[in-house]
Amino acid sequence: MTTRPVDETPDERDELASEYVLGTLSAERRTEVQQRLNDDAELRTAVDAWERRLLGLTDLAEPENPSHLLWQRIERSVNALNRQPVTPTAERSSWWNLLPLWRGLAGAGLAATLLLGALLLTQATVKPTYMVVLVAPQDKAPGWVIQASNRREIQLIPLGVAEVPADKALEFWTKAEGWQGPVSLGLVKPGQTLSVPLDKLPPLEPNQLFELTLENPSGSPIGKPTGPIQFIGRAVKVI
Amino acid sequence: MPEPIFDYEARLAACGRGERQALRDLYVQESPRLLGVAKRLVRDTALAEDIVHDAFLKIWAGAAGFDPTRGSARGWMYSVTRHLALNFIRDNSREIQGDTDVQNDAETFDADVHSSRIHRCLEQLEPSRRICILHAYVDGYSHAQISHKLGTPLGTVKAWIKRSLTALRECMG
């Protein structure tokens, strides 16, 4: 949150509002103003007044008829919007609906398959029934493997030591199709194997999602992921 | 016969209740002008349509929370659209590729036909200062782009704009 500078005079505030509406502020200062507008009533009043003053200038731009497809696009998007309940947590969990992320993960599937094959060859003694490779969302680098030799317990195995800022912790989550939201499986120490009993959850199922997010040291305060995703992947049934 | 007055406030309130037809009405009424405003800022028809698309989603989603004491519904639609377009051009820093694509003067500011108060106040500014305000608001030019376009030092452009805005505030109240 950006707070107003303590020594800002009304004139400075009005000047900021005027240049924001005029459009001459830099990207950084625009973001700053837009954040302040959420809870700075005085700045909001100043901006509203400038919007009113300058509105008449919009008719200097020549009108142009949109293509007939534009309304259809808007309608489709409104339909999609209406299917999602608008709740304060909607924004937090909205990454579940991030198409690019899932497209990327589809690409990571091949890497996962290869890795999975390698692991199967090296760990022939206990045959897992499900496996998950958790990859970093940006570069798809595999970071952890989850294996389950039965559907009641899983093991989270590190492939390296993930870097976690000193004031943060990694929290482990899962979500299967049809669940309301992700469920926490607890905090994870970088570089250490973790066994998690799934006794309070339904049995593992194909395609079940697992991920590690960056949270406060004591875990997410709201019981849902709030921080950025560090690693993510889906369960694959091993034949 | 006078044209019946289009009730933006009522349409927006209806959008807030989830009435799709009201959004359609607002679209039919304003989309060509909003597209014109967005296109002048982003300089590309497809991009401008993206901006108008996003603006109508924002209008739909924000309709229930719209506070009529803060300004007119029509004005809000323009603000939403303009700021989406301005965020886009500032975030994509048109300046880097852009000094050369500062448009020629073919698209001028045809202020003669406009009688609203802002135009009368603008006329009281010196022409070079007036053009700074118009390039900023209508074309989305940054201080640097205006300076480049007019061949006027950056510091002068900044000072002109600052003083012009103060003059406009005094003129318009």
Phi-psi region of B38 (alpha: psi -120 to 50; beta: other; left: phi over 0): alpha
Average the pLDDT over B142-163 and give the result: 96
Same domain, B9 and B90: yes
Residue B18 forms part of a structural domain:
yes
Same domain, B52 and B126: no
Short-list B129, B134, B120, B122, CA closest to B162:
B129
Residue B45 forms part of a structural domain:
yes
Same domain, B1 and B66: yes
Same domain, B39 and B66: yes
The verdict on a CB contact (< 8 Å) between A59 and B57 is: no
pLDDT band with cut points at 50, 70 and 90 for residue B97: very low
Q: Tell me, what's the ipTM?
A: 0.91
Task: DSSP for A39-55, please give it.
Answer: T-HHHHHHHHHHHHHHG
Using an 8 Å Cβ cutoff, are B83 and A33 in contact? no
Residue B80 forms part of a structural domain:
yes
Residue B107 forms part of a structural domain:
no
Residue of A nearest to B93 (CA): A27
pLDDT of residue A45: 96
A124 pLDDT higher than 70:
no
Range of the domain at B16: 1-100
Chain B residue numbers with beta carbons less than 8 Å from the beta carbon of A59 are 33, 114, 116
- CATH of residue B85's domain is 1.10.1740.10
Same domain, B40 and B75: yes
Domain boundary among B100, B133, B152: B100
Residue A41 contacts B, CB cutoff 8 Å: no
Minimal C-alpha gap between A178 and chain B (Å): 26
pLDDT of residue B3: 62
Number of domains in chain B: 2
Short-list B80, B23, B74, CA closest to A59:
B74
Domain boundary among B76, B100, B124: B100
Average per-residue pLDDT in chain B? 88
Residue identified by tokens 């998690």 is A196
Residue identified by tokens 């990327």 is A104
Same domain, B94 and B122: no
**What domains appear along chain A, each with residue ranges and CATH number?**
1-123 (no CATH), 130-237 (2.60.40)
Taking only the tens place, the pLDDT of each residue in B44-92 is 999 999 999 999 999 999 999 999 999 999 999 999 999 999 999 998 8
Taking only the tens place, the pLDDT of each residue in A47-59 is 999 999 999 999 9
Same domain, B91 and B20: yes
* Token output for A70: 């534009």
* Token output for A109: 């599937």
Same domain, B63 and B138: no
Same domain, B89 and B154: no
Max mean pLDDT among A81-85, A164-168, B2-6, B87-91 falls in B87-91
pLDDT of residue A196: 85
B35 pLDDT higher than 70:
yes
The verdict on a CB contact (< 8 Å) between A63 and B107 is: no
Domain boundary among B41, B69, B100: B100
Max mean pLDDT among A39-48, A191-200, B86-95 falls in A39-48
Cβ-based burial of B52 (10 A; exposed 0-12, middle 13-18, buried ≥19): buried
pLDDT of residue B96: 41
Residue B108 forms part of a structural domain:
no
Residue B109 forms part of a structural domain:
no
d(CA A149, CA A127): 6
Using an 8 Å Cβ cutoff, are B82 and B129 in contact? no
The verdict on a CB contact (< 8 Å) between A66 and B60 is: no
Same domain, B35 and B72: yes
- CATH of residue B173's domain is 1.10.10.10
Residue B35 forms part of a structural domain:
yes
Average per-residue pLDDT in chain A? 81
A56 closest CB neighbour out of B61, B70, B119: B119
Minimal C-alpha gap between B145 and chain A (Å): 10
Average the pLDDT over A205-212 and give the result: 87
Max mean pLDDT among A209-223, B1-15, B124-138 falls in B124-138
Using an 8 Å Cβ cutoff, are A134 and A144 in contact? yes
Residue B59 forms part of a structural domain:
yes
Same domain, B95 and B134: no
CB pairs under 8 A between A and B: 132
Residues 6+ apart with CB under 8 A from A204: A129, A130, A148, A151, A154, A176, A198, A235
pLDDT of residue B126: 95
Using an 8 Å Cβ cutoff, are A212 and A168 in contact? no
Same domain, B137 and B94: no
